[in-house]
């Protein structure tokens, strides 16, 4: 993580109560809970944007029969390898 900037904002009491419950059980501070939540949200948002771009690309140039066969063989190879993902 690069440079950090302190940010002040308002939050409703119910949300703050839930955050405080997380602090007690899993996190060191309210700030850590919020940092983790923002980081996770941004990561999900980025993944969703990548999915949209890929779907758009495959819509313009759909896979052909050869690619479908290779994709299926790849999946079979992964399954046969019994990898612990």
Q: What angle do CA 14, 18, 39 make, to 5 degrees?
A: 115
Q: Is residue 21 part of a domain?
A: yes
Q: Is residue 43 part of a domain?
A: yes
- Taking the whole predicted model, whether its pTM rises above 0.85 is answered as no
Enumerate residues 6+ apart whose C-beta is below 8 A from 63: 71
Q: Is residue 7 part of a domain?
A: no
Q: Is residue 30 part of a domain?
A: yes
Burial 29-68 (b: 16+ CB within 10 A, else e): eeeebbeeeeeeeeeeeeeeeeeeeeeeeeeeeeeeeeee
Range of the domain at 38: 13-80
Number of structural domains the chain divides into: 1
Q: Is residue 1 part of a domain?
A: no
Q: Is residue 46 part of a domain?
A: yes
Q: Is residue 75 part of a domain?
A: yes
- Report pLDDT digits (tens) over 10-62: 999 999 999 999 999 899 999 999 999 999 999 999 999 999 998 888 788 87
Q: Is residue 5 part of a domain?
A: no
């Amino acid at each position: 993580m690069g440079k950090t900037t302190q940010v002040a904002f308002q939050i409703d009491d119910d949300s703050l109560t839930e955050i405080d419950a997380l602090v007690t059980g899993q996190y060191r501070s309210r700030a850590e809970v919020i940092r983790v939540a923002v980081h996770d949200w941004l990561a999900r948002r980025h993944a969703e944007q990548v999915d949209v771009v890929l779907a758009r690309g495959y819509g313009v140039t759909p896979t052909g029969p050869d690619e479908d066969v290779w994709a299926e063989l790849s999946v079979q190879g992964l399954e046969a390898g019994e990898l612990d993902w």
